């Protein structure tokens, strides 16, 4: 099998569940997500001709993600990521990486940031299709009223991630109720 078709997968335990980290042969993250929702991603990547090989700390990328969960919140900021998706999705995902740790923005704010303020629903769909959770921080996007909205890993995990990052203290609009 060709090396470009191999994806390396590692798993770590976090305070909010088991996390899968998928890295390509070039050393870029291709997917990060909680394993209780990862079967769909694995099936999708397998249907695209990728094979998974278990490997500890592939590309050295598991260690910074582990460090993030231990409190080094900046450890994941510069990790290399390869995005597969539409041009629009990739614009949204790149904009997500620009939301600083400890801050949040609304879907409308994110749509405006990519130069398409009327694309709020499309931004929400792209946000939900983000394959590289946590590193591409879709959890930092909230409702216009400050409420927590859907998150692929579950709203309780979103709440935990935002509290871990200090967003509850930094963003007075954030509503955890």
Catalytic positions, written as ranges? 138
Give the SS3 label for residue 104: coil
What DSSP character marks residue 78? T
CB-CB contact of 6 with 25 (8 Å)? yes
In this structure, what token pair is assigned to residue 25? 């042969």
Phi, psi angle pair for 119, to nearest 5°:
-95, 40
Phi, psi of 7 (to 5 degrees): -120, 135
Neighbours of 107 (CB within 10 A): 22
- The answer to whether 136 and 93 are in contact (CB under 8 A) is yes
- Helix (H) / strand (E) element for 168: namely helix 167-170
> What DSSP character marks residue 10?
E
Q: Tell me the backbone φ, ψ of residue 164, rounded to 5 degrees.
A: -60, -40
């Amino acid at each position: 099998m060709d090396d470009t078709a191999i994806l390396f997968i590692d798993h770590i335990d976090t305070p909010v569940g088991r996390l899968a980290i998928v890295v390509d042969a070039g050393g870029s993250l291709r997917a990060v997500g909680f394993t209780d929702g990862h079967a769909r991603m694995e099936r999708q990547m397998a249907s695209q001709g990728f094979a998974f090989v278990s490997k500890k700390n592939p590309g050295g990328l598991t260690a910074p993600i582990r460090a993030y969960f231990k409190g080094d919140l900046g450890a994941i900021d510069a990790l290399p990521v390869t995005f597969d998706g539409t041009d629009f999705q990739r614009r949204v995902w790149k904009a997500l990486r620009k939301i600083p740790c400890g801050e949040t923005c609304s879907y409308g704010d994110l749509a405006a940031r990519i130069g398409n303020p009327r694309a709020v629903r499309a931004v929400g769909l792209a946000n939900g299709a983000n394959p590289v959770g946590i590193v591409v921080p879709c959890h930092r996007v909230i409702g216009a009223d400050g409420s927590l909205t859907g998150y692929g890993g579950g709203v309780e995990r979103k709440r935990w991630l935002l509290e871990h990052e200090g967003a509850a203290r930094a963003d007075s609009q954030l509503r955890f109720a």
